[in-house]
Structure 1
Amino acid sequence: MAAPAVTDSKKSSFVAFANVANAAFNLPNDVSLDVFGHDLFANMSSAYLPLQNAQVNGDYIVGPGDEIQIRGWGMVDIDLNVVVDRNGAIYLPRVGNVQVAGIKYRDLQSSLKKAINRVFTNFDLTAAIAQPRSVQVYVVGMARAPGSYSFSAMSTLLNAVFAAGGPSQNGSMREIKLKRAGKIIGRFDLYDLLVNGQRDNDQQLQDGDVILMSPAKAMVAVSGNVKRPAIYEMKSGETLADLLAWAGGTDSAAEGLPVIVEKQLERQFKPVATVDRAHGGDGFAAIKLHPSDIYRLVVPQAFAVAPRIGSEYVRLGGEVAHPGVYQLQSGETLRQLVARAGGVTESGYLFAAELTRESVRQQQQQRLEEVLDRFEQESQNAANARLTTLSNTDNVQAINQQAERNRKQIEKMRGLKASGRIVLNLPGPQSTVADLPEIPLQNGDSFAIPRFPGTVYVLGAVQSQNAFVYRKDRSVADYVKLAGGPTRYADDSYTYLIRADGSVESRQQSWFSSVDGLKVYPGDTVALPIRADYSSWTQELKEWAQIFYQFGLGAAGIKVLTD
């Protein structure tokens, strides 16, 4: 039986929408997005159809219409083919009618020997299905070629699906129902077969079965650095981790690298998460899928394997007029590329923009680990030195407890990862594209512009660590006051201000100045450290500001130390 002609080739509107959205911000290796799985049915061949002379499965149920070949020797000399009648019986000469319907094929021979043994002894025989019966099956719903099909009784649900050309362009790959006597007795999800090679829910067909192909419901799309960019059908409760599994995972060149998750929002691809798989966990599973979602997974460092050897690419995200991944022109700088991308949107906050670079991140991370190793060793050495001079049990216990607190604090710091951020030293909140430095860009760089934040964070040794509404006339001292003022453990002489652009201002930058009167900008963070008396290892960090500045940690590092 050849595959039928296609009767439904009209693609869904979501396919067109997803391709238009993807083409507007195409990546170097993007392709047209098609519905996953339909290519399997596009070039159907008889290889997918049930074989007429296939070996009979031991679980095959004998029924009316089956032709059985029986051969006997000894006291019984027979060689005949008999057909199971409508009553489920066969007629054997000198034996009579023998009921065989409902018997599994593996039990057929023993059942016949038992029946013949009532008349004859000292014999042996073989029994085989010479020709399986035919079953009439109806394929309806959103099939490419619905209709009535005739199969051998050994055929399964999947044989019928392939014979009918699979689901139509608007049919569901994930909801194929098998109905028998008006009741649904099985469901099959083609993704189990296409993605995992499983067909556990495939069932043998019976005469009169109806196969219903439901309409496709929720669709999502994924492109970018994935092995199989396409449009996929989703079910409720599934996540981006499922979508990535259907897409075959990320490109080989992207393995182990941080993945930027972009989502189509307000007709733009905007970053919604960054997943760093190198440090365990599955951040993709935390992102729930919703109908009509369009995702793009971007690993800028992976574009070096693009077809055009020597090309370099940079990702622009956030509040850029035309975000996307751009191929660098020779010697192109940050200012030039942002201008080429249309500049900044009205809601963009250029002062807080982040330029990140992988080589910088690696250097920062290495230096951070070296600093933490040194402080951990020095903390332990200091504790050991003090223990050797004490005899009082209480004092010894107090030092051990402090050493343990220091160790846990350092472990918390080890959980921080350098960002690779390059501080741009922009003039302030009113910065424009013209204020961007003429820094040459490198392959894999990422530049993201956030929305105007409207808040200021106050962290550390204050009564209430929180985010406060930005007011242009407020100073550092004003925001500390809003946070309830310093705690009794605070060292307000070391108060410092982390700007939204990543730069840091503190008293240590001048012998006579104080940050209390400094003007605060939107997105800035005010931090008050704890006095060295109450945190012995932090007294070695005379300048926290420089630590966070050099390693690109910013407010995230402060929050770890002050929690």
Structure 2
Amino acid sequence: VVFIPAVGPQVAIKGQIKRPAYYELKGSGSVSDLLSYSGGMLASAYPQGATLERVNEQNEREFLNLDLSLNADINRTLKNGDQITLPKILPKVENVIKVAGHVERAETRRWTPGLRVSDIIQSIEYLKPEPDLNYALIKRYSKPERTLSVHSFRIADALKSQQSEADPVLQDLDELVFFGLYGDRSEEVVKLVEELRQQASISTPSKEVSVGGNVRYPGVYPLVENMTVENLLSAAGGLTEKAYLSSAELNRTTINEQQDRVQDRRVIQLSDASAISSKLQARDVLTVKAIPEWAETKQITLRGEVKFPGVYPFHKNDTLADVIERAGGLTEYAYAPGAMFTREDLKAQQAQQLREMQARLEADIAKAEVVAANQTTLDASKAQGLGEAQGLLDKLKTTPALGRLVIDLEKVIAGQDAYSISLKDGDELFIPERKSSVTVIGEVQLPVSQLFEQELDYWDYIERSGGLTDKADDERIYIIKANGGVQMPDSSSWFASNDSQLAPGDTVVVPLDADKIDQVVLWRDMSQIFYQIALGAAAVGSL
């Protein structure tokens, strides 16, 4: 016979314990016995914050605080129904220093009283290459309210004068933040400023200052204790080469007792030691101007048939004719009417126009396809029209923006006032060799380049290319001159002047007749613009 009696007095333990459970007491057990039954406390347990839940003699539930590091509490006798709870230690870390920013290894170090910056950063080898030795920060949280304050120091001075005022004494939970000399420092600084702004109030403005203009890193920086204009310039990485030392502006905004906004502006001479040692206030804004008439080095590229091709820097008042003269002028093989002058801002403008044309044509093709999909039968010519439109779109997607500016180089070199071309950075002039051909492209049977003959007109060249296709628009044929200009040969005075005659390097363009393909209403405009840009690029390639 196996007899299992009823359970005796029970106690429970939970929380940071190895085997939390209900346990049966044998006799008069203590807290120490219960810990032994349950395998002991975990390393994360906080014994000083243990609690005992008990039902007293009045049948009321009560809670007792226990400190299990004391003999009196750990040897306390337990009663039936008691429950012990062991809490977890707080996640915060005490007695540490953090190091972050432009360092080889971000880490957490132990803090001890009297610890200084030089004890943590014993040499610049601890930092990444090219550190900023004139500006570093200490993030400090005061106890018990944990209010953020920011302090700055120079790591170069801290290492040079160790155990001095230049080598700050660190406090528990301080964080050292270092910066690179040439890297972006905004990520760390922005976080600091945002935290400072959260602490601001009506009576306490946000502890921040701003610097703009000709410094390496313009932006908003924490206002540290006794911060001067010089300190702010160091925080911003110093002045750039074009900074104007004679006149910087310091703007200050304050709120008076009547809560009126009061603004003050004064001029600071950055070369004056006493001026840059003036202290800053919250929300001050420093603006560093540029040297008058300062300009970055600007360049133009000359290629092709000039005596000394290459990249030439130019001054503000230089013209295209001046640079050509510096390059020794044109060679004897140069073909001035075919010169191609390109400019970066025009290229960006043309690229935007091409993107807009592409979007419009894509939308129009999509509409046409929807209409075609709703038709039971699709006419062969309409199907062909959709194919033509898609082909045009595919070509448009691969058409580069040239950024070409049409010029008459012969008049430029001659020095005519109306043809004095000022220069912009990135301009490029290409002068091809003398050509003896005329090119026919577009809706002809065989687009080809042909030998130039003085007595032939544009129609003769079209006939020599096999004539027009059935999709050609014979009323809108135009000529792209070698210099990039466009002329229409549809008037009786086409050959009335020498300027209108065909010349070597010219291109005859036969555009698509959009009226014959009615699926896309915008094709006429599209095709005309497309041939002028895309086929114009082909014309340039023939030079």
Identify the TM-score tier after normalising by the shorter chain: 0.3 to 0.5
Q: Normalising by the residue count of structure 2, what TM-score does the alignment of the two structures yield?
A: 0.40
Q: Normalising by the residue count of structure 1, what TM-score does the alignment of the two structures yield?
A: 0.39
| Structure index of larger Rg | 2
Report 1 or 2 for greater relative contact order, CA contacts < 8 Å, sequence distance ≥ 6. 1
